């Protein structure tokens, strides 16, 4: 099989519209019914819902957990309400790979956790790649996506979206059954 991968010249929000369009197109081609979107404020999830409007696709917006940053405690309530009216489900929970209990132990006592090693390995591809894998595990653990069907994960670096992957999901307890099947787009 030959597939085109879109490589962006750099990471960031400027790539969001193109990533969403490419993900919606690939979801339609593969018959994928779930798109998992990293969303800090709710904006990217809302834009994803607008992009797939008319398609039989469910959007799951995975937010940061409270306490991730000093000033962050939840996404923007108005954006969440608008997205939920379009059928978006939101998930806010502890991050699967970084920013969890293992990270807290590491910061207090030193060393590196197993989950951080995995996260930093995905970072070698891009920040969006790490986040895409992480949010799929989180959504699977919350029973918001099936683990027996491929999904598309959309994530980014800082704000917006710059990465889209086709992923065979897995629960955190079966993490190594997760497979990145395709790279749709990512920063170069």
Chain segment 58-116, per-residue pLDDT in tens: 999 998 776 555 555 566 688 888 888 999 999 988 787 776 777 778 888 888 888 88
Cβ-based burial of 124 (10 A; exposed 0-12, middle 13-18, buried ≥19)? exposed
**Element of type H or E holding 150:** none
Structure-token match 């749709």, residue found: 184
pLDDT: which is higher, 11 or 73: 11
Mean pLDDT confidence for 125-148 = 96
105 close to 113: Cβ distance less than 8 angstroms = yes
Using the predicted structure, report yes or no on whether residue 132 has a pLDDT greater than 90.
Answer: yes
pLDDT of residue 161: 96
What are the chain's domains?
6-187 (3.40.1380.20)
Burial 40-71 (b: 16+ CB within 10 A, else e): bbbbbbbbbbebbeeeebbbbbbbbbeeeeee
Alpha carbon distance 48, 56 (integer Å)? 13
Name the band, by pLDDT with cuts 50, 70 and 90, for residue 21: very high
Alpha carbon distance 158, 131 (integer Å)? 11
């Amino acid at each position: 099989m030959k597939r085109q991968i879109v490589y962006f010249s750099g990471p960031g929000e400027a790539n969001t519209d193109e990533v969403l369009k490419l993900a919606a197109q690939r979801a339609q081609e593969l018959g994928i019914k779930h798109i998992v979107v990293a969303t800090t404020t709710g904006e990217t999830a809302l834009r994803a819902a607008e992009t797939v409007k008319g398609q039989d696709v469910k959007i799951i917006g995975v937010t940061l957990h409270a306490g991730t940053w000093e000033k962050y405690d939840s996404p923007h309530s108005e954006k969440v309400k608008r997205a939920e009216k379009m059928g978006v489900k939101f998930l806010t929970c502890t991050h699967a790979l970084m920013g969890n209990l293992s990270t807290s132990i590491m910061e207090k006592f030193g060393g590196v956790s197993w989950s951080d090693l995995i996260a930093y390995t995905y970072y070698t591809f891009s920040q969006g790649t790490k986040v895409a894998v992480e949010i799929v595990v989180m959504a699977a653990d919350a029973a918001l996506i099936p683990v027996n069907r491929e999904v598309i994960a959309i994530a980014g670096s800082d704000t917006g979206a710059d990465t889209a992957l086709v992923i065979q999901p897995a629960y955190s307890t079966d993490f190594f059954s997760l497979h990145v099947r395709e790279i749709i787009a990512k920063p170069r």
